[in-house]
Chains A and B, each alone.
Chain A
């Protein structure tokens, strides 16, 4: 595997200046909260059972406290008096090649930044905040797995993470528009591009035009039924993804966020609506303003909130009998635990389906599907990703549902692989697809 060799040779070539740069970046990411977290772990180990990696492969390396300790040991050695005076006593260790190798394996290869350990920690340590600082440090040392970095580079270069050309994107939208018009029988059903002054700028995951056009068509059908004033951008600003959330290079992440902010200004829209994507929502809604160091002059919403409003306000009517098959819901970590959107999708699904069953556990206690944290982009960890997804596969299987609704395209990719690997025999759909199916034609 060339990726393995590349990362290993980079590790071997690290210099003292590289380590110092990594430490400087790491230190720069720490604030009062993180300093508190790094002083708090008591190594009780109770967090182990909260981690989907550990649940599926119960080894020391998969215990969240162990992953944290790798980083805390460097923090102690580099930034605390006791770590310098008595490193052996408090477990302080220097950032050297072996430690950097362990960091890469641990925080890129054994963590999806899902944060389930945070809510289960007896102390209350928000571990992903520390892991993000460590990923940033590894990035400063050139140790981000190249395929993850390539996804970020695509966004920086092409304005979308799949390097789609403007022509491909626009032609796909036009083709989906024709399909929508055929489906609705309404020649006025549109997927508007660059509509100046539209109320809503809708953004999508490039996987939709590339691989899942029916998903985009479903969202468009919902907007059509609600008579929404919406548009998408033809130039950068249509892609909601931001893998800067995962390589943790805030500068690059901020550049990608700027595409959305600039599109909002260019088109004069009021509300930025993020399509069904967990990390995209987290990046745009929560982290984007922090990366840019300024508040947005507009509102950010998930399409889930919007559909919830449509149902509540009677702008769309749903017939649950059109979705008679038992349905369960996957809670994407960045949308639910880290995003705070828990109930909107549930209210919508209860209206759109005959039998809606919760997975156990759910909401902020959900298990990550295994595809988060950039795992889907890092081929070298594929086996671990599929194995760690076993917890989600079990949840799905236990639910008895035949359709799994996942309001996140990254999760959908992972769930499709789990479906095959664990022989779940389920369909995987977005919330918009369920809603579009249940729409009652306007009278």
Chain B
């Protein structure tokens, strides 16, 4: 096995273990026992939170910021595609040409989407005021990883840099805000369960309704 491939695997193992540890730490805070009588179904609420509740039209904040939302969606699609390409590279597999074209489009758009958000963070005074170094580092690591994935689909020359970048990204991911790739799911579940129990999610789902 090539040293960089081994490095990526070790970094991946670190990321998985660290994320598992973070999840355990959060779980160690304990569940809240509820004494009030539910008016709705927490599971239905969570289901809504992960489906219709995530639709752009379900959020005024998204509808008012569609370019940023679009950039974010493309960015995330690109990052996930880049990880798919990384897995293929580690396994020594090649994509069929139609999938390769799609992967190139997604990683290119994702990389630019990520850097456009970084630019926005740098230029917008209020967004800069919200940010700490972690916000910039996380974005740069993810965007560069995505763009390098795109480049590597054309030339294996860049693959060494890409692998090294992947190692950095995987090591850093649990330490900074990239941990939201894990906590997004738990957070959204808790939000959905909270509003589901109270009958607010899904709309019209309350026993009060």
A82 to B69, CA, bound (A): 29
| Chain B proximity of A49: nearest CB distance (Å) | 5
* Contact, CB under 8 Å: A45 / B37: no
List the one stretch of A33-41, A104-112, A374-382 in contact with chain B: A33-41
A: residues with CB less than 8 A from B are: 30-37, 39-50, 59-60, 63, 65-66, 69, 82, 86, 88-91, 118-126, 129, 285-290, 292-296, 299-300, 302, 305, 336-344, 361, 363-365
Query: Chain B 16-40 against A: per-residue CB contact (8 Å), 1 yes, 0 no?
Result: 0000001001110111101111011
A47 to B61, CA, bound (A): 6
* Contact, CB under 8 Å: A290 / B35: yes
- B25: chain A residues at CB < 8 Å are 35
Among A37, A65, A129, A305, the residue within 8 A (CB) of B130 is A65
Nearest residue, chain B, Cβ from A304:
B208
A88 to B136, CA, bound (A): 13
Given contacts A49-B65, A124-B191, contact A36 B130 (CB under 8 A): no
A285 to B207, CA, bound (A): 14
Given contacts A289-B35, A292-B35, A338-B198, contact A36 B60 (CB under 8 A): no
What are 27 A-to-B residue pairs whose CB atoms are below 8 Å?
Answer: A31-B30, A31-B31, A32-B31, A32-B186, A33-B194, A36-B187, A39-B187, A40-B184, A42-B177, A43-B127, A50-B60, A89-B133, A89-B176, A119-B59, A122-B62, A122-B72, A124-B187, A126-B190, A289-B37, A296-B37, A305-B208, A338-B198, A339-B200, A339-B208, A340-B209, A344-B209, A365-B60
- B190: chain A residues at CB < 8 Å are 32-33, 36-37, 124, 126
Count of chain B residues with a beta carbon within 8 Å of a chain A beta carbon: 62
B: residues with CB less than 8 A from A are: 22, 25-27, 29-32, 34-37, 39-40, 49, 53, 58-62, 64-65, 68-69, 72, 124-127, 129-135, 137, 175-177, 179-180, 183-184, 186-188, 190-192, 194-195, 198-201, 203-204, 206, 208-209
Given contacts A120-B59, A124-B187, A126-B191, contact A43 B176 (CB under 8 A): no
Given contacts A32-B29, A340-B208, A364-B200, contact A90 B176 (CB under 8 A): yes
* Contact, CB under 8 Å: B206 / A340: yes
* Contact, CB under 8 Å: B26 / A39: yes
A285 to B72, CA, bound (A): 39
Given contacts A45-B127, A126-B190, A365-B60, contact A36 B26 (CB under 8 A): yes
- A129: chain B residues at CB < 8 Å are 194
Nearest residue, chain A, Cβ from B125:
A60
| Chain B proximity of A291: nearest CB distance (Å) | 9
Among B61, B175, B204, the residue within 8 A (CB) of A50 is B61
| Chain B proximity of A59: nearest CB distance (Å) | 8
A12 to B20, CA, bound (A): 42
Given contacts A44-B72, A340-B40, contact A39 B60 (CB under 8 A): no
* Contact, CB under 8 Å: A48 / B126: yes
Nearest residue, chain A, Cβ from B130:
A43
A287 to B34, CA, bound (A): 9
A294 to B33, CA, bound (A): 10
**Interface majority SS on B: helix, strand, loop or mixed?**
helix
- B186: chain A residues at CB < 8 Å are 32, 36
Among B35, B64, B203, the residue within 8 A (CB) of A364 is B203
* Contact, CB under 8 Å: A340 / B126: no
A30 to B200, CA, bound (A): 23
A15 to B127, CA, bound (A): 34
* Contact, CB under 8 Å: B198 / A124: no
Nearest residue, chain A, Cβ from B131:
A43
* Contact, CB under 8 Å: B126 / A63: yes
- A36: chain B residues at CB < 8 Å are 26, 183, 186-187, 190
* Contact, CB under 8 Å: B62 / A66: no
A49 to B203, CA, bound (A): 22
Counting chain B CB atoms within 10 Å of each CB, which of A35, A66, A295, A337 scores highest?
Answer: A35
Among B62, B132, B183, B188, the residue within 8 A (CB) of A39 is B183
Given contacts A43-B127, A340-B206, A342-B204, contact A123 B60 (CB under 8 A): no
- A89: chain B residues at CB < 8 Å are 132-134, 137, 176
Given contacts A32-B30, A120-B60, A125-B187, 5 further A-B contacts (CB under 8 A): A32-B186, A36-B190, A37-B187, A60-B130, A342-B209
| Chain A proximity of B193: nearest CB distance (Å) | 8
* Contact, CB under 8 Å: B179 / A39: yes
Nearest residue, chain A, Cβ from B201:
A364
Closest 9 CB pairs of A and B: A340-B199, A91-B132, A289-B35, A33-B190, A120-B61, A124-B188, A124-B191, A35-B26, A340-B206
A379 to B27, CA, bound (A): 40
A42 to B120, CA, bound (A): 14
- B204: chain A residues at CB < 8 Å are 342-343
A88 to B127, CA, bound (A): 17
| Chain A proximity of B194: nearest CB distance (Å) | 6
Among A31, A42, A300, A365, the residue within 8 A (CB) of B32 is A31
- A91: chain B residues at CB < 8 Å are 132-134
Nearest residue, chain B, Cβ from A339:
B198
- B201: chain A residues at CB < 8 Å are 364
Given contacts A295-B36, A340-B199, A340-B208, contact A49 B64 (CB under 8 A): yes
- B127: chain A residues at CB < 8 Å are 43, 45
